[in-house]
Structure 1
Amino acid sequence: MVQIGLQGKVALVTGANHGIGAATAQALAAEGVAVFINYLHMPPLGMLEENLGGGKTAPGLALYNARRALSADGVLEAIHAQGGKAEALEADLSDPATIPLLFDRAEAAFGPVEILINNADYCVGDTFIPHDLLGIAPQLPGGYAATTFTASGHDQHFAVNSRAVALMITEFARRHVQRGKRWGRIINISSDGAPAFAHEISYGASKYALESYSRAAAKELGQFGITVNIVSPGPIQTGHITPEIEQQVNDNTPLGRVGQPDDVADVITFLASEQARWLTGQLLFVGGGHRMI
């Protein structure tokens, strides 16, 4: 029998009102972890009218926007219904003052944070193509409209996807070392498009920075008993993948299907567990073989 050793631990999971974050919070709670959830109601993403999909019940942008706008109440209810411990706080990670606040609130609810899952992200399609000169808006797969690169777009992506992650790692490490602890887990969620993400260039670059921060943290924090690893999901059905694109993914994935949030959550739970005690500084692609190295 595998003993993953998470009973009684405390986790802080960002971006956990839906999708991978919500599945991760529930998976950890099922293993006896007290979970503190951070989330933020997100404004709707833009999309070309003809690609809106089947409304708020079928996969497509409308459904994805509806899920992004959810509170964490549903996740809390699901965890509590199974006898788990969880609380939540809505807060914007692009504000540096949010970071210590999250740890303070988590500690007040459950005690010191031992597992940090940096899952929250900001993603709006952008491109180097000067569409204002060409008279067309570059289109992402699935019909998302991309805008030409701007300073403000760059800064927003990096504020959430890179800077906030680095600040969360720093705060976690400071409190961990101050308490003289010797067990800690940090798992950062990247994207399999991070090395080069055409039409989502700021998103991809900010996730690549997250990967660099993660490896540096693994080198520096191992002496304190903290492991730091990266999960890089492939195509995951969080509501945004239309049936047409899902079929394309199925056809190009060795395991023959699009991923589900639970598929990623299980890998994150493994990395948090005692079974992964000798893994640090690693990147795991979780995508059914959609990408291989």
Structure 2
Amino acid sequence: MIDTGLAGKVALITGGNHGIGAATARALAREGASVLINYLRMPALGSPAPSDDASSPGLAFYNSRRAQDADEVVRNLREQGGRAQAIEADLSNPTTIPWLFEQAEYLFGPVDVLVNNADYCQADTFIPKGYPGSADLTPGGYPLSALSAESHDRHFAINSRAVALMMAEFARRRITKDLRDGRIINLSTDAASGFGQNTSYGASKFAMESYSRAAAHELGPYGITVNIVSPGPTQTGWITPAMEQALSEQTPLRRVGQPEDLADVIVFLASQQARWLTGQILYVGGGHRML
């Protein structure tokens, strides 16, 4: 049996009310870590068609997941004997970030593991409406709008700036307290190098990857590792059955990912087994992308 060294550690996870964040909270709690979950209930993405079944993956189902709180996640963790708390707060407000760390320290102690999983995604495009290649919806049926200053800034506020500030706050508190062996794991996308119809999302994730490598370089002497998990298509509620079939056929392992697949890798990166790994991107998607 492998000892991850996570028992008694404190983890702060953003975007933990559903999907990968919730699965990560459960996985870290099973290893004995205390978990503070940050989340923000999000408005609906467009209007589902009348035929859209809210009980199976698709727009209506995904909207319901995005709008839920983290109470059930916390309740389940506590029922399993874990120590957990959830706080709803908007990471686009920079004052939220030091406050979250203060709350974690008050509840559990200094944060040892930071998982930046929260993101903002609203499909946007360079192509003007009415011209070849334009569309009102993505192939998955999600609203598609023209790239604008607003769409750019909303993506970068969460996917890039908030992650950078979270890392800076984590580093400041670890370094000034002379604490070693910190772990930062940031969630990206395997299309970050260029994501058609999700242009601002992909670009903001690519910027986050640059911040992560810089942080790994600078924080290594302080015993802090920084790594990136880059998911392939993962079923967090947004992949319709038709999309899932097509994506599975494009993936060597012939299925889409599940949140638990990502959570297991995140636990590894947080563990003592990953002590000699930093500044790396792990593409976790069944071979959907290979280098």
What's the TM-score, normalizing by structure 1? 0.97
Q: What does the per-residue CA deviation read over 1:45-99, in whole Å, with 9 as the maximum and x for residues that have no partner?
A: 125737x732x21110100000000100010011011100100100000000100
Residue matched to 1:233: 231
Q: Distance in 1 between matches of 2:29 and 2:128?
A: 47
Residue 214 (1) aligns with residue 226 (2): no
Residue matched to 1:270: 268
Residue 255 of structure 2 is aligned with which of 239, 257, 275?
257
Q: Distance in 1 between matches of 2:287 and 2:135?
A: 32
Q: Distance in 1 between matches of 2:17 and 2:82?
A: 16
- Counterpart AA for 2:247: V
- Counterpart AA for 1:125: A
- The alignment covers a number of residue pairs equal to 291
Contact 1:48 1:145 in 2 (8 A): no
Question: Structure 1 191/227 Cα, relative in aligned 2: closer, same or farther at 3 Å?
Answer: same
Residue matched to 1:89: 87
Residue 195 (1) aligns with residue 193 (2): yes
- Counterpart AA for 2:221: Q
Say which SS state the counterpart of residue 216 (structure 1) adopts: helix
TM superposition shift of 1:191: 0.4
Q: Distance in 1 between matches of 2:37 and 2:90?
A: 13
Contact 1:231 1:285 in 2 (8 A): yes
TM superposition shift of 1:165: 0.3
TM superposition shift of 1:178: 0.6
Write out aligned runs for 1:95-134 (5 A): 95-131=93-129
Residue 178 of structure 1 is aligned with which of 171, 176, 179?
176
Question: Structure 1 109/284 Cα, relative in aligned 2: closer, same or farther at 3 Å?
Answer: same
Residue matched to 1:29: 29
Q: What does the per-residue CA deviation read over 1:147-172, in whole Å, with 9 as the maximum and x for residues that have no partner?
A: 00100110010000000000000000
Contact 1:219 1:281 in 2 (8 A): yes
Residue matched to 1:243: 241
Residue 19 (1) aligns with residue 19 (2): yes
Residue matched to 1:166: 164
Where in structure 2 are there 5+ consecutive unaligned residues?
none
Residue matched to 2:38: 38
Where in structure 1 are there 5+ consecutive unaligned residues?
none
Contact 1:47 1:143 in 2 (8 A): no
Q: Distance in 2 between matches of 1:133 and 1:233?
A: 32
Residue matched to 1:67: 65
Q: Distance in 2 between matches of 1:262 and 1:273?
A: 16
Q: Distance in 1 between matches of 2:134 and 2:213?
A: 39
- CA RMSD, aligned part only? 1.4
Contact 2:127 2:133 in 1 (8 A): no
What's the TM-score, normalizing by structure 2? 0.97
